[in-house]
Structure 1
Amino acid sequence: MSSPLLAQVPTKWTTIVRPFLLRADEFAKQHPVVSYFLRTHVAYLCMKNRTKDKEDLKFLKQLLGDLENDKRLLGKELENVDGRTVLTKYALMLFSKADTDERSGKADLNIVRLFFTSALLFEATIQFTEDAEMDPIAKEKCKYAKYTAACMKKAVDNNNPYISRNRIEETPSQETSFLPDERLRNEVGEDQGSISPLFFPNHRPLPPSASPVDEDFQNAIKFNDGGSVSPILAPPPYVSPVNSKPVQFKSKGIPSGGVGITSTMKTPVESQFTAMTEVFGNAEDADLSLDAILDAQKSVSQAVTALQFNDSESARKLLRQALEFLDQ
């Protein structure tokens, strides 16, 4: 499942997609489905931030080709699978492990990476939502994970004792900054005791990357040491709900607010991958621009949505619009 995509990432997209690609490579061997959905999120981000640059087009074509190949290799593993639920499940597992260790007074880079990875998994779920907004509870959990990771990493790097804010209510004397939360949609509760094994069983450390601490990891968690990064206020200590009944995880269920990838229904993102891959196959012969291809694909996608609401008039209009884009 691993690919040379990391070396091909356009410079302007490095900070946006590199963390997700690195995590995808880490998940690839033990949990290839998680890796696949992290890569689809990268495609989502690339399409959202696309330009007319040829380097962007080359990378996007390579990424879509790899995704199609991964999809064929996974085969039945993707049947009746809700991508958003899968990502959220693993995000909660990693968050729970990191939170338990942090509350016990432990502090090391492995816990930092667990928090950081859980936040990335949460963020990747927005590819399945229409508004790309975070659920308030999930947003709190993601923000807490990033902030705690930043505080702990700073303490470890400086050989300072780390004090959990869950044990002693204390405001840090020096506020910590990190890159702003971008997206996180929703979470699915599950009895943690029923999940076996965890991502890294027997409390083993995260698999090593190219370096002891990844470049993306250094960039993703920054501190306000006189730099240009704007500080943010520390979030309150995360408190798990008391006497609340967890929402049971359903393998075939679709969380509210999003559409999952199943054997009978495609998400807007997966539909885009399929359509774009087909179009890219003939792009060179047709001499179409990237903008024309993606604008046409968007119109077709909107036409399909219109048909789902029995709005045939709008569907016809959008399909004609797609043809106009291709004729430019």
Structure 2
Amino acid sequence: MALPAPLRPIQHHLRTAQEHEKRDPVVAYYCRLYAMQTGMKLDSKTPECRKFLVKLMDQLETMKKELNDNDSITQEVVGNAHIENYALKMFLYADNEDRSGRFHKNMIKSFYTASLLLDVLSVFGELSEENIQHRKYARWKATYIHNCLKSGEAPQPGPIGMDEDEEADEFGADGFSHGASFRGADPSHTFQDQGQDVAPGPAPGIGFTPGPASGPSGPPTTNYNNIQVPPGAHAPANTPAELPPPSGGVHLSPEDFTKAQKYCKYAGSALQYEDVSTAVQNLQKALKLLTTGKE
């Protein structure tokens, strides 16, 4: 069924869902859930839009039944970790390629898809300021590099000047615009999987902020005009000895227990990607919260 014009802003999220149907059904499910929730706000009254959204709801129900034994579907906190891990994995891949001066279709696609998946995180609640900035930077970078290659210019690698209101002027809020050309085609159609993941390598995990593609960890902080990017994403986590000893007088609120549980879930998700550093960091955060009552 064709996408009605009023629902056009969700087209790229639906396309991302379709691309991940077999590769990662969890990503496909939450992309469609975001599309459905956003579509309801855009137009749920006109017959054409209502018919489309009802069909999308049916598709979500079917997927939910098929994936009823998957913790990422049945437990929101695990689903949140899964999508955030995946988005940051794609961001890291594109950021490393960009900083190394390797500009190609898959890295543009990875930047843009990362921005779409950061949109999707809003189904779990408000985005963190960090993820809002990552989303803005990723979408702007995809636009900038796409436009450079389209016009035959050489893109500048790494974080360069970005105006506060400059994000994706050609692509706009809807993402890649119809009619935009990249070697003769709409960029959102040209990035085919070709049998491989466009973002290979280990996931950075929850709490990750991208650092340089190479070099030792620990140099001065870089920032993309207000986007703080501490280098050394895989630097060793705090050791237990650095944590204050448990205090019997600590009073934890229900929210504290929920946050601690989240950190433990994030650690478990990071271990699925064999990302030991991120798992340790999140377990340390949980331990610190439980022993001091502070993050």
TM-score, normalised to structure 2's length?
0.57
CA 1:95–1:61: 2 relative to 1, 3 Å: same
For 1:239-318, what aligned pairs fall within 5 Å after superposition?
A: 240-242=229-231, 253-254=261-262
Distance 2:161 2:39 in 1: 40
Equivalent of residue 151 in structure 1, options 131, 144, 151? 144
Distance 1:215 1:55 in 2: 25
Q: SS at 2:229's partner residue?
A: coil
Unaligned 5+ runs, structure 2: 175-184, 192-223, 239-259, 264-295
Unaligned 5+ runs, structure 1: 1-6, 183-210, 218-234, 256-328
Letter in 2 for 1:135: S
Q: SS at 2:138's partner residue?
A: helix
User: Percent same amino acid at aligned positions?
Assistant: 24
For 1:134-145, what aligned pairs fall within 5 Å after superposition?
A: 134-145=127-138
CA 1:76–1:51: 2 relative to 1, 3 Å: closer
Equivalent of residue 83 in structure 1, options 60, 79, 83? 79
Residues 1:67 and 2:60 are matched in the alignment: yes
Q: Corresponding residue for 1:102?
A: 98
Letter in 2 for 1:50: D
Q: CA deviation at 1:240?
A: 2.8
Q: CA deviation at 1:126?
A: 0.7
User: Deviation per CA, 1:237-269, whole angstroms, max 9, x where unpaired?
Assistant: 855314677899xxx9447xxxxxxxxxxxxxx
Q: SS at 1:76's partner residue?
A: coil
Letter in 2 for 1:146: R
Q: Corresponding residue for 1:42?
A: 35
Q: Corresponding residue for 1:20?
A: 13
Equivalent of residue 153 in structure 2, options 160, 181, 201? 160
CA 1:242–1:105: 2 relative to 1, 3 Å: closer
CA 1:52–1:171: 2 relative to 1, 3 Å: closer
Aligned positions, number = 195
Task: Indicate conservation of the 8 Å contact 1:109/1:156, yes or no.
Answer: no
Q: Corresponding residue for 2:3?
A: 9
Task: Indicate conservation of the 8 Å contact 2:98/2:158, yes or no.
Answer: no
Distance 1:178 1:236 in 2: 21
Q: Corresponding residue for 1:29?
A: 22
Distance 1:31 1:51 in 2: 28
Distance 2:262 2:188 in 1: 34
For 1:202-241, what aligned pairs fall within 5 Å after superposition?
A: 213-214=187-188, 236=225, 240-241=229-230
Distance 1:18 1:28 in 2: 15
Q: CA RMSD in A?
A: 3.4
| Larger gyration radius, structure 1 or structure 2 | 1
Residues 1:54 and 2:50 are matched in the alignment: no
CA 1:102–1:26: 2 relative to 1, 3 Å: same
Q: CA deviation at 1:13?
A: 0.7
Q: CA deviation at 1:236?
A: 2.6
Q: SS at 2:59's partner residue?
A: helix
TM-score, normalised to structure 1's length?
0.52
Q: CA deviation at 1:151?
A: 1.0
Q: CA deviation at 1:75?
A: 2.2
